[in-house]
Structure 1
Amino acid sequence: MTSNKEPALNDVLLIPLVEAALTEDLGRRGDVTSQATIPDDMQAQLEIRARQAGVICGMDLARLSFALVDAQIEFTAQVDDGELVDAGTVLASVRGNARHLLTAERTALNFMTHLSGVATATRQIVDSVVGYPAQITCTRKTIPGLRIVQKYAVRCGGGRNHRLGLDDAILIKDNHIAIAGDIKKAIQQAQSFAGHLIPIEVEVDTLEQLAQALDAGVSLVLLDNMSPELLSQAVAMCQGRAKTEASGGITPDTVKAAAQSGVDFIAMGYLTHSSTALDIGLDFHA
């Protein structure tokens, strides 16, 4: 695996997420355990450390978790988001009021372990299809409220983003087609609505539907739940008339077979809804 440097998200976007997470954790009385066991003036230094190898993501969220609890806490990052690290690597050191460090600990680690898991899984999958034209993308199957950072984690892992929301592209799916009447009618209505700046993608389940979509004219076709054999036939049918995207239940075990079909993109909800958290801890530095 290689490192992937991704421009950081602005704190303006991240602060509301961290504030919500801290509010949820602090509840009505704050961190009663730390209040009960640690003197209010005690200082400490701790290290955020990777306990397994992986791609790191969420450093700024961790920094803000400590800063919003106590602006006097010193957070010193040792690595950047998108960096591949070995087990045992110190990711950051934090120094300040001991109570406040422990109050922010879980929020900081929750963001980092989850997002680093997404970035690590993405990098592993991207590396598994090197040599094929397919680019790995995420989907809108994200945790509500965390989409912007989950999609950022995908980019840190070397993947690409699909739609960020419902407003940045037209994707005509099966229910749109069923309610509109048929594929041709749905595409024609979308073309009339979109103008020339909004791309149009249509989901197809069969080669017959694909032929209809190509005849109507679209930018991209989403080949939904097709076998590798059908994917190969669909790619051959498109022949440059539209970009192709495989989607539907694709996992790390099946992604290579999908890539071998020659599709341009492979959309994987797995990246954001099923990636395993990376083990990261906060250790006391005596």
Structure 2
Amino acid sequence: MSMFTLPAAQVHDILSRAFAEDAPGGDITSQLLIPSGATATAVLCARAAGVFSGGSVFRDAMQFADPSAVVVLLVPDGGRFDPGTPLARVTGNARAVLLAERVALNLTQRMSAIATQTAEYVRLAAGTRARITDTRKTTPGLRILERHAVRCGGGTNHRSGLSDAVMAKDNHLAVMTAGDPTRLTALLAAAKAQLGHTVHFEVEVDRADQIEPVLAAGVDTIMLDNFSVAALAAGVRQVAGRALVEASGNVNLDTVADVAGTGVDIISIGALTHSVAALDLGLDIELTPGEAQQ
């Protein structure tokens, strides 16, 4: 399966909810003003430079409203574009194109913004071993689209959700040890022993003195949370290949190159998805009068 393939059933569910929210009783403006038989050709056009994501979502949104609509994707997901670049073209029933316009744009603009921002982080970390990855800080209901957009930008995905991997964070550790940190290694090792061999086990630490007790439990990944660049480099040396090292917390475009240079394997960045501004894309429509009118 292509890394840029989205599961059709889940996309359909997202679109169903989006159209139910935006037009529960149809588009009364278009029904009033646009002849029922009119057709439209619309071009999805870039107003800013970026990396495209969501072409298939744009297509599916248009065909959700008009199954007979013809959609041609002019730039592939993951493709870079300049201002003024046509990204997709749709021809279909004019009312349906107008009905689908906002849903299609909202999703494609957000996905392309995530892909564009991810690509910049990936560029800044180039030449190091670090992979740029997302987090669970996604828009509720849109995670599958936002994770896809991260991949389009050259990033990778963290666990999809709480059911996919074990990730013990500071609050888990506090409850587990009940104030007795000397129990940490034994408790983590006992927990890991209960897992199947395919389940990944990651533990977050926020102090250097936690590194050895966590590694002694045989975890797969250790996350160094909110460590300074110097502390990250020291932590990588201390781990010495005994587990994957993930850096997280306060990573931005100004700091990511230094973080990547410490030798960490993974850099997880919530900002890839939680705070992007929609990329400026527009839909330019030309109407062709149809024979029928109502």
Q: Same fold (TM over 0.5)?
A: yes
2:283 is paired with a residue whose SS is: strand
CA–CA distance in 2 between the matches of 1:189 and 1:256? 37
Letter of the aligned partner of 2:240 in structure 1? Q
Is 11-20 or 107-116 further displaced after alignment? Answer: 11-20
Q: Is the 8 A contact 1:48 1:93 kept in 2?
A: yes
Indicate which of 142, 166, 175 corresponds to 2:162: 166
Is 208-217 or 224-233 further displaced after alignment? Answer: 208-217
Indicate which of 31, 37, 40 corresponds to 2:36: 40
Provide the aligned length of Structure 1 versus Structure 2. 281
Deviation at 1:184, TM superposition (A): 1.7
Q: What is the match of residue 10 of structure 1?
A: 7
Paired residues for 1:29-68 under 5 Å: 29-68=25-64
Ranges in structure 2 where 5+ consecutive residues have no aligned partner: 288-294
Paired residues for 1:124-139 under 5 Å: 124-139=120-135
CA–CA distance in 1 between the matches of 2:277 and 2:253? 12
What is the root-mean-square deviation of aligned Cα atoms in Å? Answer: 1.4
Indicate which of 65, 70, 73 corresponds to 2:66: 70
Q: Is the 8 A contact 2:130 2:264 kept in 1?
A: yes
Q: What is the match of residue 206 of structure 1?
A: 207
Q: What is the match of residue 237 of structure 1?
A: 238
| CA displacement 1:76-129 (0-9 Å, x = unmatched) | 211211111111111111112211111100000011000000011001110011
Deviation at 1:46, TM superposition (A): 1.1
Q: Is the 8 A contact 1:6 1:82 kept in 2?
A: no
Q: What is the match of residue 216 of structure 2?
A: 215
Q: What is the match of residue 83 of structure 1?
A: 79
Q: What is the match of residue 26 of structure 1?
A: 23
Is 253-262 or 111-120 further displaced after alignment? Answer: 253-262
CA–CA distance in 1 between the matches of 2:279 and 2:124? 19
1:216 is paired with a residue whose SS is: coil
CA–CA distance in 2 between the matches of 1:189 and 1:104? 53
Q: What is the match of residue 262 of structure 2?
A: 261
2:216 is paired with a residue whose SS is: helix
Ranges in structure 1 where 5+ consecutive residues have no aligned partner: none
Letter of the aligned partner of 1:58 in structure 2? G
Deviation at 1:73, TM superposition (A): 1.7
1:201 is paired with a residue whose SS is: strand
Q: What is the match of residue 192 of structure 1?
A: 193
CA–CA distance in 2 between the matches of 1:35 and 1:10? 32
Is 174-183 or 136-145 further displaced after alignment? Answer: 174-183
| CA displacement 1:28-62 (0-9 Å, x = unmatched) | x2211212222222222111111111111111111
Q: Is the 8 A contact 2:4 2:148 kept in 1?
A: no
Deviation at 1:284, TM superposition (A): 2.0
CA–CA distance in 2 between the matches of 1:117 and 1:167? 28
Letter of the aligned partner of 1:108 in structure 2? A
1:7 is paired with a residue whose SS is: coil
Deviation at 1:12, TM superposition (A): 2.0
Q: Is the 8 A contact 2:40 2:93 kept in 1?
A: yes
CA–CA distance in 2 between the matches of 1:34 and 1:6? 37
Deviation at 1:285, TM superposition (A): 3.6
Q: What is the match of residue 281 of structure 2?
A: 280
Letter of the aligned partner of 1:278 in structure 2? L
CA–CA distance in 2 between the matches of 1:7 and 1:284? 28
Letter of the aligned partner of 1:152 in structure 2? H
Q: What is the match of residue 291 of structure 2?
A: none
Q: Is the 8 A contact 2:4 2:151 kept in 1?
A: no
CA–CA distance in 1 between the matches of 2:37 and 2:198? 59
CA–CA distance in 2 between the matches of 1:276 and 1:189? 44
Q: Is the 8 A contact 1:249 1:269 kept in 2?
A: no
